[in-house]
Amino acid sequence: PETVPQEKTLLRQMQLKYRDVAESFTPSTYSPLPAFSNCHLQTISGVFLRKSEGCAYVDPDSGLTGVTKILRAVSDIDGKEDESSFWDERVRVDTQCGQDFFHADVKYAATKKTKWQSEGSKGMVVLIHGLESNSNSSLSVDMANAYVQEGFDVVCLNFRGCSGVPNDTLGGYHLGFTDDLRFFLKVISETWDKNGYDKRPIYLSGFSLGANVVVKTLGELGETAVTLYNIHGAAVTGAP
């Protein structure tokens, strides 16, 4: 009989175990206002309008009221907004090979207690940005702020060459580049163990290219994501 590789057997077991969870998510119907149904228009305008209350999701049955919310949001756009001061600190992390580095920007949910942790936070969210983005993009800042408001410390990893400082080697990053994320998880785990810090839950989050990196990382780590790195969950959007 044909021998099934161990990783495929494990995959089937996980699929069976969590099938009910996956099937419990029922997508809602998406019905944008006719005048704003163009996907390109939504992508561009979303950068500027998503912070406006009542503008993120407008019921198509709202008629002129819905259009008014959008127009009001457009008039409130501040083109001079500077988000570079959002993060509390930037940490340079030397790569495992010792020849390069990447930057990790940190936002604490409360007063800083120890390295990577604030007083009483619920845990840490490691945020991975998309292609040619960085920690100061509006989406990175908005997502980080949402997590902070829920009581989580947030660390956004900048891919090599994306933090405003050229990296030291010719290597960059790509859709399947998980090296730096995996190394950072190791750094966090060792730092907490060595110094006796609270071993709080870690969650991964990513968008676009970053979403693919997060999912691929979890696949590579398997059960060690929990046993070695205390990863309790992940949330991604727009994985290519």
Q: What percent of the chain has pLDDT over 90?
A: 55
- Judged by DSSP in three states, 66 sits in helix
Answer whether residue 64 shows pLDDT above 70.
no
- pLDDT band for position 66 (50/70/90)? low
Strand ranges (E), 119-218: 124-128, 153-157, 202-207
Residues 59, 66 contacting (CB under 8 angstroms): yes
- Listing DSSP states for 1-63 in one string gives -PPPPHHHHHHHHHHHHHHHHHHT--PPP----GGG--HHHHHHHHHHHTTSTTTSS--GGGT
Tell me, what's the pLDDT at 125?
98
Answer whether residue 83 shows pLDDT above 70.
no
Average pLDDT value for residue range 196-211:
94
Q: What percent of the chain has pLDDT over 70?
A: 86
Phi and psi of 20, rounded to 5°?
-60, -35
pLDDT digits (tens, 9 = 90+) for 102-140: 999 999 999 999 989 999 999 999 999 999 999 999 889
Neighbours of 113 (CB within 10 A): 15
pLDDT digits (tens, 9 = 90+) for 175-195: 899 999 999 999 999 999 999
Q: How far is Cα 152 from Cα 198, in angstroms, rounded to an integer?
A: 14
- pLDDT band for position 35 (50/70/90)? confident
| Average pLDDT across the chain, whole number | 86
HSE (CB half, 13 Å, CA atoms) of 223?
Answer: 5
Tell me, what's the pLDDT at 59?
65
Average pLDDT value for residue range 10-17:
80
Residues 231, 215 contacting (CB under 8 angstroms): no
60-82: b or e for each residue (b if 16 or more CB lie within 10 Å)?
A: eeeeeebeebbeebeeeeeeeee
**Does pTM surpass 0.85?**
no
Tell which wins on pLDDT, 27 or 62: 27
